[in-house]
A and B are shown apart, each in its own frame.
With several copies, the nearest count.
Chain A
Amino acid sequence: MNKASTHITQNEALIFERSQTGRKGYMLPALDVDETPIDELLPAKFRRTDDLEGVPEVSEVDVVRHFTRISTWNYNIDLGMYPLGSCTMKYNSRLNERVARIKGFANLHPLASEEDSQGALQLLYELQQSLSEITGLAAISLQPAAGAHGEMTGIMLIRAFLDARDGVGEGDRPRRNVMLIPDSAHGTNPASAHLSGFTVKTVRSTPEGQTDLEALRELCAAGDVAGLMLTNPNTVGLFERSIKEICQIVHDAGGLVYMDGANMNALVGWARPGDMGVDVIHLNLHKTFSTPHGGGGPGSGPCCCTKELEPYLPVPRVVLEGDRYKLDFNYPKSIGRVKAFYGNFGMAVRALSYIETHGADGLREATEAAVLNARVIAHGLASDYDKPFEAAPMHEVVFTDKRQARKGVHTLDIAKRLIDYGFHPMTIYFPLIVQGAMLIEPTESVGRQEIQQFIEAMRAIAREALETPDLVTNAPHTTRIGRLDEAAAARKPVLRWKPEEKAAVA
């Protein structure tokens, strides 16, 4: 391995490479019971024989330095704007982190009796109430662990509802096995639909970035449509103006409408899916409700639905009976259970804290700021970048690399060059329907000044693309390592460290 620099923090090895026989980073209280002889405790054939060889042996300082060093190789929200479109990288309040760590929450076992966990149940119940008010949908399950999980749950609700309505018995072939999904949808949508046994058919978008109503009507005419999965605002950041008509078309065809709520940050306090005709939606608490993304998770993807769909929600449900909160398992039509216990409770604590520290007007103002910030970027970059859609964007705006591509500078290059200016890149090459897409979502967590800095950086890159394109295509220049050869990595994947491969890996 070549060294990125001489700087020790830039060359932190894998922990396995730092391990030294006999080093310890922990201390346990001494065993305080009479020891049972080992063979009596567990016959040899059931015991490990490898003495955990390869598992690292390091001191506490080693661990602290290891993770502190590699942490500095990450960008993060606290360093600056993280304008990933569709991901809603907003500020993760420290207060939410603090309250999630209160012992009464953190130390509570999920199988404690109802009596002994009234606080946790209350919290879940109150979050359900707030989310119901925010979405305009009657019933909520907090069980799904992420957006895709919420999608799967919601699609299963639709399947269960339709089968019941259409009198499809167990083992019968369902009558409606088509799920319509726009070509602009996130990959989880078709994947989730597939998990529930649906065949996916694609709905075209219009050149204006809206669902093509004609195409939708045609598809619906076939009579096998179970529903439509729609993101709104859609993945190019535009509100689906005909949302009510869309819902009507699908409903008239006997289907239901699922809304991917990933973009709820454009709507909270201003419009509610329930008022648009939507039947079921998932939320991403890790987007709209500010729970931290954690480098990939955990998330929480509450599934919210109408009264009609409620009987099919996963069990147990959290309900209030008199002044006692209860776990209600008695929903015979329920699709079942999508996760052990009750969902990612810790994220629920944070989300409720977010909702309650904002208050109704704070939520509305946050949405307003998020949309305004995107609008400022849309204005600020229009002179330098191709903006494929005319309409005013909501909380995120899509541009393309069309103009820069003439000079051989592509979206990927622009994204990497942004790193040199201190910003995380935007979402790139998504949605797939926009060639060379750059989807920019500033969120409300950026001040005027920083929005301007971002616009200036993007403009500077546009100039560089003209004047010094190599500077852009070879970016980033300020990181520890350059662009990595991902194709080679996938061809001969090395997915774990091994002692014998030490030399090869290094």
Chain B
Amino acid sequence: MLRSVGLNAPEELFDTIPADILLRDLLKTPDALSEPELIARFESIAAKNSAAHRPSFLGAGAYSHYQPTIVDSLISRSEFFTAYTPYQPEISQGTLQAIFEFQTLVCQLTGMDVANASMYDGSTSVAEAVLMAERVTRRRKVVVSGALHPEYLHVAETYVAHAGIDLVHAGFDEQTGTTNFDELGSLDEGTAAIVVQSPNFFGCVEDINALAERAHKVGALLVVCVTESISLGLLRAPGEAGADIVVAEGQSFGVPLSFGGPYLGLFATREKYARQLPGRLVGVAADKEGRRGFVLTLATREQHIRREKATSNICTNEGLIALMATIYLETMGRQGLQEVAMQCAQKAAYAARRITEIEGFSLPYSATPRFNEFVVRAPVAADGLLRRLASERNITGGLALSRYFPERTNDILICVTETNPRTEIDALAAGLAELTK
């Protein structure tokens, strides 16, 4: 082939690169491994992730749910996973129709009018929601609940650092574990939005209706963030409760934990704000013969057309993960989504009951409604207790809140899902009891 383009040596292909920056030697990356060697090596690396092989009560933004087998089998069709962004609709209708179904499902679950084709994840969706609220309201102050996932808050702060937006932190009520309404006093005519997570980081369900009222009174938007999207199978849809933008982490919809990514940002809003949405949108279109098809639409919002004036810089999103979620949601369907949500809530309630029975343990926010996560206050330091639970009982007992709140030394955030059989819950309770005796 070289000859056919008039060259004699591969080096000549790189003639347009100045000689002084051309590499002379091979890179010092590892030598090539054959398939069996690579597999053996990666399996041995993976085996070191001991937490992956153990019953777990970790949640806090990433959840263990059962993934129906067909999800992975269908996304593994090369027609889906090797395709590019559907810029050529005539040969991308599979992807486009799936996204259209995804958008519809997100609307149905959140109770909103329009949803986009996905964002990177829940955390960046919150940040983009803050930016969008500013675009919509042309106001520059955003009040953020102190019960928002701390990593989400950190991301939002980073995103808006140079956007001229003032992020104001509202605390949360130590009695109820929910956003502190009184601290929302800072709400005024300059406020673009209130951002609140529900169920919040501590597992407590927020009163969205009340928050929406507060926000709307001053002309601000209410942004609701959901990290445990399975809760949408049981909890009132945020849209119905008055939210203006709903963002969520969609990982719960059949997406593996995968050490934090790839996950799936859901982003939905009201019809009237559709043109302020970040990210891609798929809409219905027709060909000359009137046949229905789907296309990427409202592209004038996007960076490849609007460049620096775009609603976001996002280009590649989480397409395949959105497809996973779509397949998950359609497989579970109307009944299944309610059943799995109910199981999570029931099992969490059972676990909470079992744990409060243990001497020395309490639930600081026991009076507040919750879904499948709750804070437990232990009689000893959480860190050490969890370490012993892991090493002596082979249970990952939850998250020590000191990871994010150093002063909360004894608090553990526990999450229970349909994947935790009763025996595991009982073993957790037994472990907590015995290790603190």
Contact = CB atoms under 8 A, between A and B. Distances in A.
When A and B assemble into the complex, do they touch directly, with CB atoms less than 8 Å apart? Answer: yes
Task: Give the most central of B38, B113, B425: most A CB within 10 Å.
Answer: B38
Given A47-B234, A58-B333, A271 B83 contact: no
11 contacts: A28-B418, A48-B232, A73-B92, A75-B92, A82-B82, A92-B81, A108-B257, A149-B314, A268-B27, A272-B23, A495-B100
Interface in A98-151: 98-113, 115-120, 122-123, 130, 133-134, 145-149, 151
A372 B85 CA distance: 26
A488 interface: yes
Given A33-B425, A148-B314, A488-B286, A295 B80 contact: yes
A238 B17 CA distance: 10
Interface residues of B, number: 202
A31 interface: yes
A345 B50 contact: no
State the 9 A-B residue pairs at the shortest beta-carbon distance, nearest first.
Answer: A359-B32, A341-B260, A104-B46, A294-B320, A296-B319, A110-B260, A336-B158, A197-B162, A112-B51
A53 B107 CA distance: 12
B274 to A, nearest CB: 7
Contacts of B27: 133-134, 268-269, 360, 363-364
A205 to B, nearest CB: 16
A339 B51 contact: no
B283 A494 contact: yes
Contacts of A319: none
Contact of B1 (A24, A87, A416, A448): A448
Contacts of B41: 356
Interface stretch (B132-140, B179-187, B340-348): B340-348
Contact of B105 (A55, A123, A294): A55
A187 B47 contact: no
A322 interface: no
Interface in A191-205: 191-197, 200
Interface centre among B70, B322, B403 (most CB of A within 10 A): B70
Contact of A493 (B283, B288, B306, B313): B283
Contacts of A115: 50
Contact of B120 (A26, A146, A353, A416): A146
Contact of A63 (B70, B97, B152, B386): B70
A57 interface: yes
Contacts of B31: 359-360
A466 interface: no
Nearest to B56: A109
Given A55-B329, A112-B49, A294-B323, A359 B30 contact: yes
B90 A103 contact: no
Contact of B149 (A46, A151, A156, A340): A340
Given A112-B58, A188-B315, A371-B13, A497 B90 contact: no
A379 B98 CA distance: 35
B90 A482 contact: yes
Contact of B114 (A103, A485, A496): A496
Interface string B98-137: 1111011101110101110110111110000000000000
Nearest to A23: B333
A8 to B, nearest CB: 13
Given A25-B330, A343-B261, A490-B299, A357 B33 contact: yes
B80 A71 contact: yes
Contacts of B307: 187, 190-191, 200
Contact of B321 (A159, A276, A298): A298
Interface stretch (B169-177, B213-221, B289-297, B356-364): B289-297
A482 B108 CA distance: 30
A102 to B, nearest CB: 4
A32 interface: yes
A87 B5 CA distance: 24
A419 B87 CA distance: 13
Contact of A337 (B155, B283, B284): B155
Given A42-B369, A345-B260, A296 B237 contact: no
Nearest to B73: A94
A98 B331 CA distance: 17
Given A40-B349, A47-B236, 7 more contacts: A29-B36, A33-B350, A145-B124, A294-B75, A357-B35, A359-B33, A495-B103
Nearest to B335: A24
Of A49, A82, A105, A111, most B-chain CB atoms within 10 Å: A111
Interface residues of A, number: 200
A111 B303 contact: no
B155 A55 contact: no
A148 B236 contact: no
Given A148-B313, A195-B313, A368-B13, A26 B158 contact: no
Nearest to B33: A356
B284 A505 contact: yes
B91 A46 contact: no
A111 B318 CA distance: 21
B346 A339 contact: no
B319 A102 contact: no
B283 A495 contact: yes
A100 B68 CA distance: 16
A13 to B, nearest CB: 9
B51 A45 contact: no
Contact of B76 (A28, A82, A97, A364): A97
A494 B283 CA distance: 5
A138 to B, nearest CB: 14
Contacts of B316: 145-148, 284, 286, 293, 296-299, 301
Interface stretch (A213-221, A249-257, A403-411, A473-481): A473-481
A74 B83 contact: yes
A353 B396 CA distance: 29
B313 A298 contact: no
B74 interface: yes
Contacts of A192: 313
B222 to A, nearest CB: 16
A295 B367 CA distance: 45
Contacts of B299: 490
Contacts of A299: 316
Nearest to A174: B162
A95 B1 contact: no
A330 interface: no
B313 A36 contact: no
A33 B101 contact: no
Contacts of A494: 283-284
Interface stretch (A239-247, A303-311, A457-465): A239-247
Contacts of B390: 113, 116
A364 to B, nearest CB: 7
Contact of B256 (A72, A269, A346, A482): A346
A342 B261 contact: yes
A78 B69 CA distance: 15
Given A15-B101, A130-B30, A36 B259 contact: no
A335 B308 CA distance: 21
B17 A41 contact: no
B52 A375 contact: no
B85 A122 contact: no
A111 B122 CA distance: 16
Nearest to A33: B350
B173 to A, nearest CB: 17
B104 A496 contact: yes
Contact of A36 (B258, B290, B349): B349
Given A275-B21, A357-B33, A269 B26 contact: yes
B155 to A, nearest CB: 5
A104 B396 CA distance: 15
A186 interface: yes
Contacts of B209: 45
